Structure 1
């Protein structure tokens, strides 16, 4: 071997360690750079999450309730009157008291479980009450929990509207107010290892794929509840790798930063569950009112299964639009509950054969437009036009009497329809305001024949001659000057001309001239 060849070999042996060293340095720099970027990006995601979770997560709408009603000993109510009051307030007669809103009859007594409610002066828990009657009149009210007699008890008002919601409605309630069965059914269906994983669950993704293949349809989702919450709160519904990566990273950060129960509570109040016209229905609490007309704590197990099943696709499983799809999906959830021994065979057979049990198409925030318009006009007068921030999350207790509102609507519609036939004039309209003249409170407002549609509110917006309604004010003004007018002061019934500075002389005239 020549001297030149020896030199070349030595150079190659010397360069090899240098290349390896340079490669290691490059990899170390790249790893450091990527690590630094990851730390900064993780911090950015953490800031995004904390700024929302620790601040105002939602612009909560103002909740409008009907007037507060009480059952009092002093009202001397009869047995039938008390039952009618309970029924009007959507209490249910049962043979066994099981849920708030139930009542049962026992000879000359009524036992009921009064609903809990955060009244304006103080929140009151649910109470078991016994109402005793003597000679068909309410004679004693007993609080069976506190073991004492009371003179009266209040009934929870009904939610009649939601205001200032930015096209989203929701009732945000604490986690402890949700039924345990709802939470168990949700976790079973959507995320069984919720309390074990760190925000993402690869095992759950594989299990969902296998379950869906076996069932021949999608019965489980692969995303965790944390991922679903991240997507709904922070991300768009765009289908892309970038969004999925962000979703996974933010889920890890959210799970690291916050307690599992906080995440679950936020999810329960955030999840999208349908549309009320152009208003989105968010959260199980509002969805229960929307679809069943009941509090989330009062719905049955099959109704819970329907709501849980709708998480997968609120539009596809809408019980009004696609009742058969909704029924099938509800029964899939019930079958999962059976398979995991949450319910037994007998209960499953009974629940799976029930109809959907939804009310007529939900009308939350749409049912009493004329009254709500009148209420909003009053709020503008009291708070000023820029009232939005003052009303966020507020509870507004109105003076509406639901029964009188219904009677007023029926009276206007039926009477005007009869007049349209009699006069052969299809364009006749009507309006009505019902007020408590003792308290000056408006009990009902009807703005026209289309009682469920907001439009021209004839009770509030139309201008008309007040006619003889002015007479009490005129008489009162006159009688406040007794030296000029008394009850027996004669008044000449003849034309009169009143001169007003800066205006033409005015002569009042009768309607028939």
Structure 2
């Protein structure tokens, strides 16, 4: 008997085992599985190899970047001039404390400390202070500085506070501003706001959030756009430091690799600190705002440590699209975005709902958007240019320098406001001068320069009407000076007078010397060339006194005087006073040669500073981060005119202000003693000064076309607006009358006769005379013979007169 299945059955069973119930061979699945596993392993090996290759490649990239120097390029911190506190000033101890707090005292003990006790404030500079470590106690009562006492008990007349920071410039390739901050200086609510809106798992992930990347990849594929974010803070930092902003898959892969490297090199706090200093938050003028430190100052005018919750949320919300969410340009969008951030902070439990609602109710509270007023950008550009020229390039590029300058921030604000207000009036005059409906109107540019007349320091500088629109600095642009140069003709005549020289046409030059203001053709260059100028509006006045000729800016009278004293002598005095282009031709008398507004402000120091020319300066000192001196700069001064000649010329310039073309400033409320000159050519000028401020205003067209506005109606009102605001500041409120030097005396002169005024001739003006040159007779002797009158006029009789009280 046969045991087992029949042959056919056995074959059938064998086939079923081999193919399985689905009809496919078992070996087929095993082969596919093994193939898949092999491919997977191979892919994994390739991926691992590629990952390791690029990991170490980008490790080298990161290491090389770190080895090259600090993560951020050096930041030059530019400081204002120290604020001088003087006894008698209208100031409170609280105001002084706020100034010191703004400068960094107490928050940075290395810089300095202060202690406020009622009306007294004790100041103690630290080792990093601009000053020595000598402290002082300032006592104020009834809003007036009563006394200043040094630490050793010595009474002081004045004390300088720590200079305030104007701005910080990064030595990046682009125009960037950045104020570096540490993680500890960043308020916790700012960190929480950024994490809530940008990367909630920042402190947990290893640099990349793959879930977010996957979601964004799907969104991009569906929308056919590369618009979805998904990057962590680390990835954003990697992109900002190492990569271009182009949205490509290859860039995203490189971004991931660099993120891993950053996470392996730095702690989360260090990464956030770098992010906080790198992130771009928009534009201010022509500079990009980089980092939260700079943004705090730009948008709120405060240090980052002082940001409240609402302000922190606003900055965090701007990260996504800085220009789109700009609170200046789009306040509604900015508020909506800020509130979204606050809601996100509630979701992450960083704040409560109540805290969020309180913050949402807060208005934006932005700092004034006038960058010209707050950061003096034209001034800062000039400082940077001078640094490049005068400081070693290595020092500038690789050190965090502290640059101490001449700027007075309060006066800078005043200057910018005066220009803003004044140019609105100028624009209105320009529109009225054009035909109704004209669209091709050229609106002029402007510059204002303010100097300390006794030190030469540039206290304020506006180089144009809007720095954000144009960075061209008109304060350093050469233009024909026009009639504001004319005082140098009269100063040359006075210089010859103090030397005992008479004019070729007879007599010693004085304020009442007679000049011919008639149409005249002047010859020069040994008779080979002629010059036939005209007066303003072709008005001629015949025989006039010198003081009248300058007060009313009479061209022909001034050139006739220039011819008598020598055109080359006039040009030489101009060159010695900083107007280097001046040449000895008749046209020099009318200011036909070019100079900058800064040059002209410096030139007027000759009259305001006893004949000493002070070269305008803005750089005082350069220090390193520890306060050590890298370079100090001394102002340049040179005696170019006898103090008596300088004062005599100044007396004529007072006449311009009191009864000449400068009277516009008196009508606008500026009543303090002042001396100055209008200027009108193709441009409008006004150059004038008080006992403590020189200010030059220029208005003109960039294309050199005629602005068709006189200095008296266009530039003088801006000067008056500036000076009226300036004298309200404590440091410029103590204007004083000008004091004549030995050998010069002021007299009251009768307007009609040019003789000394007495009670019978009340219509008079004040003028200065070199001793022995004043008229010898009074106006009450008008009935005497012409011969006697002429002798009296030129001071040829005796005895010497007594000064008339002013």
TM-score norm. by structure 2 comes to 0.46
Q: Alpha carbons of 1:490 and 1:379: their partners in 2 closer, same or farther (altered >3 Å)? A: same
Residue 76 of structure 1 is aligned with which of 78, 87, 99? 87
SS in 1 for 2:320: coil
Residue 184 of structure 2 is aligned with which of 176, 179, 192? 176
Would the aligned equivalents of 1:430 and 1:447 in 2 still touch at CA under 8 Å?
yes
Q: Alpha carbons of 1:242 and 1:131: their partners in 2 closer, same or farther (altered >3 Å)? A: same
2:178 corresponds to 1:159? no
The equivalent residue for 1:313 is 321
The equivalent residue for 2:199 is 191
Q: Alpha carbons of 1:81 and 1:279: their partners in 2 closer, same or farther (altered >3 Å)? A: same
Give the whole-Å Cα distance in 1 for the aligned partners of 2:192 and 2:252: 27
Q: Alpha carbons of 1:414 and 1:195: their partners in 2 closer, same or farther (altered >3 Å)? A: closer
Would the aligned equivalents of 1:170 and 1:285 in 2 still touch at CA under 8 Å?
yes
How big is the shift at 1:399? 0.7
Give the whole-Å Cα distance in 2 for the aligned partners of 1:421 and 1:362: 21
How big is the shift at 1:87? 7.2
2:461 corresponds to 1:445? yes
Q: Alpha carbons of 1:412 and 1:347: their partners in 2 closer, same or farther (altered >3 Å)? A: closer
The equivalent residue for 2:390 is 382
RMSD of aligned residue pairs (Cα, Å): 5.5
Offset from partner CA, 1:281-330 (integer Å, 9 cap, x none): 22111111121122111222210111112223323322223322221221
The equivalent residue for 1:47 is 60
The equivalent residue for 2:560 is none
Greater Cα offset, 58-67 or 176-185: 58-67
The equivalent residue for 2:474 is 457
Give the whole-Å Cα distance in 2 for the aligned partners of 1:141 and 1:192: 55
The equivalent residue for 2:407 is 400
Give the whole-Å Cα distance in 2 for the aligned partners of 1:421 and 1:28: 79
2:79 corresponds to 1:65? yes
SS in 2 for 1:226: helix
How big is the shift at 1:349? 2.7
Q: Alpha carbons of 1:207 and 1:295: their partners in 2 closer, same or farther (altered >3 Å)? A: farther
Give the whole-Å Cα distance in 1 for the aligned partners of 2:373 and 2:127: 20
Would the aligned equivalents of 2:131 and 2:162 in 1 still touch at CA under 8 Å?
no
Would the aligned equivalents of 2:415 and 2:460 in 1 still touch at CA under 8 Å?
yes
Would the aligned equivalents of 1:302 and 1:330 in 2 still touch at CA under 8 Å?
yes
2:337 corresponds to 1:329? yes
The equivalent residue for 1:434 is 450
Q: Alpha carbons of 1:419 and 1:137: their partners in 2 closer, same or farther (altered >3 Å)? A: same
The equivalent residue for 1:147 is none
How big is the shift at 1:443? 1.1
Give the whole-Å Cα distance in 2 for the aligned partners of 1:363 and 1:155: 23
Q: Alpha carbons of 1:499 and 1:307: their partners in 2 closer, same or farther (altered >3 Å)? A: closer
How big is the shift at 1:60? 4.6
How big is the shift at 1:498? 8.4
Give the whole-Å Cα distance in 1 for the aligned partners of 2:428 and 2:52: 77
Would the aligned equivalents of 1:171 and 1:269 in 2 still touch at CA under 8 Å?
yes
Matched residues, number:
460
Would the aligned equivalents of 2:412 and 2:461 in 1 still touch at CA under 8 Å?
yes
Offset from partner CA, 1:246-295 (integer Å, 9 cap, x none): 33332222212223222121111111222235543221111111211221
How big is the shift at 1:200? 2.1
SS in 2 for 1:489: coil
Offset from partner CA, 1:475-504 (integer Å, 9 cap, x none): 8xx8xxxxxx9956344455366899xxxx
The equivalent residue for 1:7 is none
Would the aligned equivalents of 1:369 and 1:451 in 2 still touch at CA under 8 Å?
yes
Offset from partner CA, 1:121-156 (integer Å, 9 cap, x none): 7999xx9x996535753447899xxxxxx9967345
Q: Alpha carbons of 1:446 and 1:363: their partners in 2 closer, same or farther (altered >3 Å)? A: closer
Give the whole-Å Cα distance in 2 for the aligned partners of 1:397 and 1:492: 48
Give the whole-Å Cα distance in 1 for the aligned partners of 2:276 and 2:415: 38
Give the whole-Å Cα distance in 2 for the aligned partners of 1:492 and 1:253: 84
The equivalent residue for 1:4 is none
Offset from partner CA, 1:147-186 (integer Å, 9 cap, x none): xxx9967345132473754143322222222223322332
The equivalent residue for 2:536 is none
Greater Cα offset, 220-229 or 392-401: 220-229
Offset from partner CA, 1:337-357 (integer Å, 9 cap, x none): 345554445433322111112
SS in 2 for 1:159: strand
| Equivalence map 1:196-207=2 (5 Å) | 196-202=204-210
Give the whole-Å Cα distance in 1 for the aligned partners of 2:35 and 2:420: 89
The equivalent residue for 1:225 is 233
Give the whole-Å Cα distance in 2 for the aligned partners of 1:365 and 1:415: 15
Considering Cα pairs closer than 8 Å and 6+ residues apart, tell me whether 1 or 2 has the greater RCO. 1
2:297 corresponds to 1:289? yes
Q: Alpha carbons of 1:55 and 1:34: their partners in 2 closer, same or farther (altered >3 Å)? A: same
Give the whole-Å Cα distance in 2 for the aligned partners of 1:197 and 1:41: 21
Offset from partner CA, 1:434-475 (integer Å, 9 cap, x none): 222433321122445668753351555324364435887998
Unaligned runs of 5+ in 1: 2-16, 144-149, 210-219, 479-484
Would the aligned equivalents of 2:87 and 2:146 in 1 still touch at CA under 8 Å?
yes
Unaligned runs of 5+ in 2: 1-6, 8-29, 218-227, 435-442, 506-563, 570-582, 592-806
Give the whole-Å Cα distance in 2 for the aligned partners of 1:268 and 1:115: 30
The equivalent residue for 1:14 is none
The equivalent residue for 1:214 is none
Offset from partner CA, 1:378-432 (integer Å, 9 cap, x none): 4455359x89964875432221112223344555676787789899879887644
SS in 1 for 2:297: helix
Give the whole-Å Cα distance in 1 for the aligned partners of 2:347 and 2:31: 64
Give the whole-Å Cα distance in 2 for the aligned partners of 1:379 and 1:206: 50
